[in-house]
Amino acid sequence: MNDVIICRCEGVRLSEIEQAIREGASAVPGVKKRTRAGMGPCQGRVCQRVVLQLLQQPPSEAGESPDALQRSRSPVRPTLLGDL
């Protein structure tokens, strides 16, 4: 069951995210750096909620609040050169 794909854009599986958390990722940016989850074209709009839930599952060794876990940037959307 750990082979479920969480981030469809980057093909990141649940087991990879759990491994990143075990290795010390305590917030979304840490999971991103280790797995690339949230770095695809949708910029985490699909997968970030699941990553947050995984980070908040007890025991939360980091003890950080949910707001501290999510340090995301505004979504980036492709822009046509003609629109500029």
Q: Cα dihedral angle (6, 77, 28, 18), rounded to 10 degrees?
A: 20
Q: CA dist 54 to 57, 69, 83, Å?
A: 5, 11, 39
Tokens of 70: 């999510």
Q: Determine if residue 34 is left, alpha or beta; phi over 0 gives left, psi from -120 to 50 gives alpha, anything else beta.
A: alpha
Nearer to ligand FES, 49 or 59 (CB): 49
Write out the binding residues for ligand FES, residues 23-52 only, by CB under 6 A.
Answer: 37-38, 40, 42, 44, 46-47
Nearer to ligand FES, 7 or 20 (CB): 7
Shortest CB 59 distance to ligand FES, Å = 25
Nearer to ligand FES, 8 or 23 (CB): 8
Q: Which residues bind ligand FES (CB under 6 A)?
A: 7-10, 37-38, 40, 42, 44, 46-47
